[in-house]
C-alpha cells in the first residue's frame, strides 16, 4: 500500500483536492472565492512550475532527434494540429458551453513538461524526441494556444487576445527558457540532476494549489449557474477527452509505422504528441482577464478529466509497447538515472 501511494500520490491527491474544492466552492460564497484568489495566483504558480520542470529537463539527448527529425515533426503535428482538430470535431456533442471551451483549451495547450519523457522511457522509447517536442510546444504555446482558441471560438466567446499572448509568454515561454539557460552552468546542472525528483515534487504541490482554485471556482460556478450540469454532460466530455488523447496516440503510431520509424521513435512520438500539460490549461481557464470577468467556471472539468485519464491510459500503452518491441532486443541507452513517475506527472 505504501509503495502504491508513493507512485500514485499525485493522482490520489488531485482526486481529493478536486472533490473537496468543488464541495467548498458549491457551499461557499463569493467572498470565500475572492480570499482564495488573493493567495493563489495562477500566473505566478504556472511560471514557478514550468521553471522547476524545465530546470529538471535533461536536454543532452536532443541531438538524436535533430539528426533524424521525422518522429519529432510527426509528434509536433499531432500535438499542435491534430488534437485540436479532433476536439473541434467533438464540440457539437458537448451538452454545456463551458465543457466545449474546456475541451478546446485542453487540446490546444502544449505537451507535458516531464510526463512525456517519463512514459517514453517506460515504453522503451527515445526520450530525445519527447524532450524536443516538450521544449518546442511549451516555448511556442503563447502563439499556438491563442491561435486555436481564436480560430475555433471566435464566433462564440470574446477574450483578450493581447492579454492571452502576453501572459502566456511571461508565464510559459520565459520560465522554460530560463530553466534551460541555467542548466548551461555545469554546477547548476549537476545540482538539478541530483534533486530532479524533489523539484518535480515541489512543482506538483504548486499544481495542486492551482487545481484547488480551479475546483473551488467550478463548485461556485455550479452553485450560481442557471444551467445545471448533468451526469450525461460529464460522461460525454470525459469520453471526448479519451477520444482526443487515444485518437492522437494511435494516429501518430500508425503513421510512424507507415513511415518505418524505429519502434523507439514511434512510441516517443506518439506519447509526446498526445499528452497535454495541466498547469498552462488551468492558467488559461481560470485567469478571468483572458475571457472576461464572467469567466468559464466549469471549463476546468475537461482539463482534470483529460489529465487524469492520459496517465492511466499511457501506462497501459507504454507497457504493452515495451513488452512487444523491447523484450527481444535491448533499446539504445537512455538516461541512466530513473525519475519517479509521481514526480513528473505534469
Range of the domain at 131: 42-327
In a domain, 22, yes or no: no
Average pLDDT over residues 292-313: 75
In a domain, 203, yes or no: yes
Answer with the residue of higher pLDDT: 219 or 110.
110
3-state secondary structure string across the chain: CHHHHHHHHHHHHHHHHHHHHHHHHHHCCHHHHHHHHHHCCHHHHHHHHHHHHHHCCCCCCHHHHHHCCHHHHHHHHHHHHHHHHHHHHHHHHCCCHHHHHHHHHHHHCCCCCCHHHHHHHHCCCCHHHHHHHHHHHHHHHHHHHHHHHHHHHCCCCCCCHHHHHHHHHHHHHHHHHHHHHHCCCHHHHHHHHHCHHHHHHHHHHHHHHHHHHHHHHHHHHHHHCCCCCCHHHHHHHHHHHHHHHHHHHHHHHHHHHHCCCCHHHHHHHHHHHHCCCHHHHHHHHHCHHHHCCCCCHHHHHHHHHHHHHHHHHHHHHHHHHHHHHCCCCCCCCCCCCCCCHHHCCC
Q: Name the average pLDDT for the chain.
A: 80
> Where does the pLDDT of residue 17 fall: very low under 50, low under 70, confident under 90, or very high at 90 and above?
confident
In this prediction, what percent of the chain has a pLDDT beyond 70? 80
pLDDT computed for residue 74 by the predictor: 96
In a domain, 341, yes or no: no
In a domain, 87, yes or no: yes
Rounded-to-integer distance, Cα 287 and Cα 276, Å: 19
In a domain, 263, yes or no: yes
In a domain, 249, yes or no: yes
Instruction: Read off the CATH number of the domain in which 166 is found.
Output: 1.20.1530.20
Q: What is the CA radius of gyration of the chain?
A: 19
- Whether the predicted pLDDT of 295 surpasses 70: no
In a domain, 24, yes or no: no
Q: How many domains does the chain have?
A: 1
pLDDT digits 0-9 by tens, 83-125: 999 999 999 999 888 889 899 999 999 998 667 877 887 788 8
Its pTM stands at 0.74
What grid cell was written down for 87? 476536439
In a domain, 25, yes or no: no
Amino acid at each position: 500500500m505504501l509503495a502504491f501511494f508513493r507512485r500514485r500520490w499525485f493522482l490520489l491527491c488531485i482526486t481529493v483536492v478536486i472533490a473537496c474544492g468543488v464541495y467548498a466552492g458549491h457551499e461557499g460564497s463569493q467572498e470565500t472565492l475572492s480570499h482564495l484568489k488573493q493567495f493563489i495566483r495562477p500566473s505566478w504558480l504556472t511560471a514557478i512550475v514550468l521553471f522547476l520542470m524545465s530546470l529538471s529537463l535533461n536536454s543532452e539527448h536532443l541531438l538524436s532527434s535533430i539528426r533524424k527529425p521525422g518522429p519529432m515533426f510527426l509528434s509536433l503535428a499531432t500535438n499542435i494540429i491534430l488534437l485540436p482538430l479532433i476536439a473541434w470535431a467533438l464540440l457539437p456533442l458537448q451538452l454545456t458551453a463551458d465543457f466545449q471551451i474546456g475541451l478546446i483549451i485542453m487540446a490546444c495547450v502544449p505537451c507535458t513538461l516531464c510526463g512525456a519523457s517519463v512514459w517514453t522511457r517506460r515504453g522503451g522509447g527515445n526520450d530525445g524526441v519527447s524532450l524536443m517536442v516538450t521544449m518546442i510546444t511549451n516555448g511556442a504555446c503563447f502563439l499556438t494556444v491563442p491561435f486555436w482558441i481564436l480560430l475555433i471560438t471566435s464566433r462564440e466567446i470574446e477574450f483578450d487576445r493581447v492579454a492571452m499572448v502576453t501572459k502566456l509568454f511571461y508565464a510559459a515561454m520565459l520560465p522554460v527558457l530560463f530553466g534551460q539557460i541555467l542548466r548551461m552552468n555545469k554546477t547548476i546542472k549537476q545540482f538539478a540532476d541530483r534533486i530532479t525528483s524533489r523539484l518535480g515534487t515541489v512543482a506538483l504541490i504548486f499544481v495542486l494549489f492551482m487545481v484547488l482554485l480551479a475546483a473551488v471556482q467550478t463548485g461556485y460556478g455550479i452553485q450560481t449557474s442557471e444551467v445545471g450540469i448533468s451526469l450525461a454532460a460529464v460522461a460525454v466530455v470525459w469520453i471526448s477527452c479519451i477520444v482526443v488523447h487515444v485518437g492522437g496516440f494511435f494516429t501518430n503510431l500508425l503513421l510512424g509505422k507507415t513511415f518505418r520509424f524505429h519502434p523507439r521513435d514511434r512510441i516517443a512520438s506518439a506519447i509526446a504528441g498526445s499528452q497535454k500539460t495541466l498547469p498552462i490549461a488551468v492558467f488559461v481557464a481560470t485567469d478571468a482577464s483572458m475571457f472576461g470577468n464572467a469567466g468559464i467556471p466549469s471549463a476546468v472539468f475537461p482539463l482534470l478529466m483529460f489529465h487524469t485519464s492520459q496517465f492511466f491510459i499511457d501506462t497501459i500503452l507504454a507497457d504493452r509497447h515495451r513488452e512487444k518491441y523491447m523484450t527481444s532486443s535491448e533499446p539504445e541507452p537512455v538516461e541512466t538515472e530513473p525519475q519517479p513517475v509521481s514526480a513528473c506527472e505534469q
